[in-house]
Structure 1
Amino acid sequence: MNSFLIKNVKWRMENYKFSIKQTLNSYFIPAFLLLNSSCLIGCRVYSFTGTTLKDDLKTITIQNVAMGTAGGPANLTLTFTEKLKEYYQRNTSLKLKPSDADLLLESTIVGYELTPVSATSGDKAALNRLTIRVEVRFVNAKYEDESFEKEFSFYQDFPQEQNLSQVESSLVPKIIDQLVLNIFTDTAAQW
């Protein structure tokens, strides 16, 4: 009789464990999934590419970048335009359209500046800074409150011993990449 009681207790403990496990699965897993999905949805539409564009926005017009200042490589505006178009195509589902799109992006390079920074003991610059400034006009035809005009700028420093012609071909692409990312963040991600 003692062994029967022990087997009965073991059987009940196993069934109790199974019952607890089943209860946890039936309540906590759905609650966990619901909580995570509500965090992803939040107040805006979220995509895993980082954009917060609404579903009804389908097209974008990206005008050729204009040059509103002196200086810079001859292909600066073309390179900038192509990087903008490529980035939007790669990171959104928007289709490029020559005109009358849901979104419009116009950019003008308004500054291509070389300035000395970080003085040394002999009043000479230890570093020089190349800065590119871009004026951007963004128009959202469906949600006008998201439209804006704003200036973006970014820079790269280089040693005073080098002149601009030696480093320009390596610095300009880095600056453009960061400017494109900043413009994209403000227009498509809006964090």
Structure 2
Amino acid sequence: MTWNNLGAWRLLLVLWLLPLAGCSVYSFTGTNIDPAVKTFSVATFPNNATNGPSFLSQRFSEDLRDYFQRNTTLKLVPRDGDLQFEGQIVAYDFAPAAIQRQDGRDQAGINRLTIQVRVKFTNTKDPKQDFEQTFQSNGDFAATQDITVINNDQAAIRRITDRVITDVFNKSVANW
């Protein structure tokens, strides 16, 4: 066998093995999921905050499930998934965020809604990845909007909870 033939065979071998190099646990969504992990489960997150709209518990839980289904190849199971999410909504706080002095009185320039969710994550395949953490996000609203108006604006609340869900996703499967 000549050097050129040997070089060609080496090149073919490298080209043949190259696709196998992609069989690691990284994906284009930024996840870092062990191939042994096949399923996930999300328990309903009860709203244990002192206030908040009645739909918040169900909406947050469903949105968390949907996010994982869209961004991973994991199969959703009702309980006992390889990855397990449970927790509770612990705070739903609406308060002035920017105080302005107007006509000799202090008034809110904007109001801020802050939502905190306590998440317990269990990775049955790698318990070193387990965590329990509170995630928080907020949104600012015009001072003219009161909490009743905001509670009826599901899209506004969803923008806040979507950021919490993204943080939970990144912490649990993207290792950020």
Which band: TM-score by shorter chain? 0.7 to 0.9
Query: TM-score, length-normalised on structure 2?
Result: 0.81
CA distance in 1, matches of 2:150, 2:90: 21
1:23-172, aligned counterparts within 5 Å? 45-122=25-102, 123-168=106-151, 169=153, 170-172=155-157
> How far off its partner does 1:60 sit?
0.9
Higher relative CO (Cα under 8 Å, sequence separation at least 6) belongs to 2
Larger deviation: 162-171 or 71-80? Answer: 162-171
Larger radius of gyration: 1
CA distance in 1, matches of 2:79, 2:123: 13
Partner of 2:68: helix, strand, or coil?
Answer: helix
> How far off its partner does 1:132 sit?
0.5
Partner of 1:56: helix, strand, or coil?
Answer: coil
> How far off its partner does 1:175 sit?
0.7
Q: Could you report, residue by residue, the CA deviation over 1:134-154 in whole angstroms, capped at 9, with x for unpaired residues?
A: 000000111111000000010
> What is the letter of the counterpart of residue 180 of structure 1?
I
Query: TM-score, length-normalised on structure 1?
Result: 0.75
- Which residue number in structure 1 is paired with residue 168 of structure 2? 183
Partner of 2:145: helix, strand, or coil?
Answer: coil
Q: Which runs of 4+ in 1 moved over 3 A?
A: none
What is the Cα-based RMSD across aligned positions, in Å? 2.2
> How far off its partner does 1:74 sit?
1.0
- Would you say how many aligned residue pairs link Structure 1 and Structure 2? 157
> How far off its partner does 1:54 sit?
0.7
Identify the structure with the greater strand proportion: 2
Partner of 1:85: helix, strand, or coil?
Answer: helix
The sequence identity of aligned pairs, in percent, is 36
Partner of 2:140: helix, strand, or coil?
Answer: strand
Partner of 1:177: helix, strand, or coil?
Answer: helix
